[in-house]
Structure 1
Amino acid sequence: MALHDDRPVLTGLLALVGVGLAVGLVLGGGALAVTRVLGVDGSSATTTATDVGSLYLPRPSETGEPSGPLLTLGAEPGQGASQEPSQEPTEKEKAEKEISLSAGQTQVAPMGQIDLTGVYPGGEGAVLQVQKFVSGGWQDFPVTAVVSNETFATYVQTSAQGVNRFRVVDNDSETASNEVKVTVG
């Protein structure tokens, strides 16, 4: 008797393994040939300076004197660059540096969220420190707010019942806002 007559399952498995080996060898050989033709065979594992793009940076050179009028942008009309700045800030400058603070709530439960928002003209990028009035003085509260587009927003939570007073301070310029009062409890 022949081998394929007695055990048809074993014969089928052997044939499947043989076909799989043949297909694998053909596909592997083809992939190897393609990688060698395309140069992705890994023989050039290191790159040299000529393989990488280069950056051309020209040498600095002297520039000539300006030939046209000099402009200072952002100056008030009628003010030239040669004017000495006054020592005392004007009322307009004082108003531009004031921080205006408001609270979103006037009364909250203990640990309720108190929304603090405000405007700080000319304070772009400033980090404002929230302060709370405690025992006759202002103390830093562990919350800050960053000024963006001359506005800021943050929130605080406290369990101290009664009237709580808050303000924000720009420590860089020592400018303080008005205070807001919120009743907790």
Structure 2
Amino acid sequence: MSVNVHRLLIFALAVTSVSCGSDRTISERVALNEVAHYLQSNPVYETANMGYGEVKFNTQSDADLLVTYRQLEKGGYVTLERLEARKRFLSKDSTFVYLVKLTDKSIPFVIDKTDRKATVKTAEYTLDEDGGVRVEQSGKNRAKATVTLKKAETDFADFAPKGADNNASFAKKTYSLRFNSESGWSVTK
């Protein structure tokens, strides 16, 4: 009789472990937490290039760009030093050459730089936990979570290209999740 009880107990444990697949069923909260964890090490942002070093500005065609650089100087991100100015004969347009230097305050926004151009963050995205999440589980080990990311422009936003992509203050992004029996759910992309 003890062998039958033992078999019954093993059968009950097997049925319980199969039917309690709640670990493999992903909830919205788990998906949101996993996406938040993933975004900490893989932030989402937009970038653009900006010139530095010796930069030429024409009075008329580059007036807005010079204003952008002066705003960055006021914010402490760059320093501007005028090297030379040339007035064209019988023209309202003049050319100015400035030495533009990046300061330590710009370090968190600079992604990459060469000797004349820097790739800077123009917008950063953060997870909107109030925006909700849509979870689609496909199979036992895979799921997709679509979340809303809030857009926050940086002080370098004026370098961003103008276009249709810049007309929204948020983005929808879908992340793929995979279940691992040892570590649980995690974002794979």
Query: Is the shorter-chain TM-score for this pair beyond 0.5, marking a shared fold?
Result: no
Higher strand share: 2
Structure (1 or 2) with the larger CA radius of gyration: 1
TM-score, scaled relative to structure 2: 0.21
Higher helix share: 2
Q: Which has the higher contact order (CA 8 A, sep 6+)?
A: 2
TM-score, scaled relative to structure 1: 0.21
